[in-house]
Amino acid sequence: MTVAILDIDGTLVDTNYHHAIAWHRAFRAHGFTVQLWRIHRHIGMGGDQLVASLVGKDADEEHGESIRDAEKQAYMGLIGEVAPLEGARELIMDLRARDHTIILASSAKPDEVEHYLDLLVVRDAVSDWTTSGDVENTKPQPDLVVAAMEKAGGDDAVMLGDSVWDCEAAKRAKVPTIGLLTGGFSRDELEDAGAVVVFESIEELRGGLDSTPLG
């Protein structure tokens, strides 16, 4: 069966706005005031690219690592407030019942991914997962999607994601994407980035799985 590659942040767990606040605090701590709406537009992009995209390459070269470390610390102070999105675990069980190989795809640090696995209670339900150690270049580069397919041992895959960066990465890996509005990106934005179908929520997706590439 088709490999189901499921993005974690913003798709299975409600983290996008927590990350936006953490990045905002990290930038402020280094003298950069970046409006939250601009940060949100980049959530889902890897942190190795986000800093330069928001404050420029020169600032990234001088302060990038320190800003990323500060974001990590700020986010870990918020991670206890993160909750799974409604229907996330049930969707995984639905896909397992259909005999899909399920790979959870994230470029987050291993301790964050471990926390999400505990929240979702799906360690025994999925085939594998990725972390930052599995990718050299983060989204929108295709490395994460490719790494997930390698872990699954197949290239017939479908991506589930919530951001334009998920869609872009999957498109570059020649993998179709099912989009969710749970990350705060619009339907038009996700479709323009390559999503073949978009759902408002996980529960809506669960009810319409037969109409998707995972049907």
Give the per-residue pLDDT at 155.
Answer: 87
Long-range CB pairs of 190-194, under 8 A, 24+ apart, other chains included: 190/163, 190/164, 192/164, 193/164, 193/167, 193/168, 194/167, 194/168, 194/170
Give the per-residue pLDDT at 154.
Answer: 87
- Side by side, the strands of the sheet bearing 128-129 are 128-129, 101-105, 3-7, 157-161, 177-180, 195-199
* Beta-sheet pairing, 3-7 with 157-161: parallel
Q: How far is CA 139 from the centre of its chain?
A: 9
ω before 110 within 30° of 0 (cis)?
no
| Structure confidence by residue, pLDDT tens digits, 55-66 | 999 999 999 999
Domains in the chain: ranges and CATH: 3-14+83-211 (3.40.50.1000), 16-80 (1.10.150)
Give the per-residue pLDDT at 114.
Answer: 97
Give the per-residue pLDDT at 79.
Answer: 97
Give the per-residue pLDDT at 1.
Answer: 73
Rounded percentage of the chain residues whose pLDDT exceeds 90: 98
* Beta-sheet pairing, 101-105 with 195-199: unpaired
Extract the residue ranges of the chain whose pLDDT is less than 70: none
Residues recorded for the chain:
215
The predicted model scores a pTM of 0.95
Mind giving me the DSSP string for 67-129? HHHHHHHHHHTTGGG--BPTTHHHHHHHHHHTT-EEEEE--S-HHHHHHHHHHHT-TTTSSEE
CB environment 190-203: b (16+ within 10 A), e (fewer): bbebbbbbbbeebe
Contact 114, 16 (CB under 8 A): no
Across the chain, which distance is largest between two alpha carbons, in Å? Answer: 51
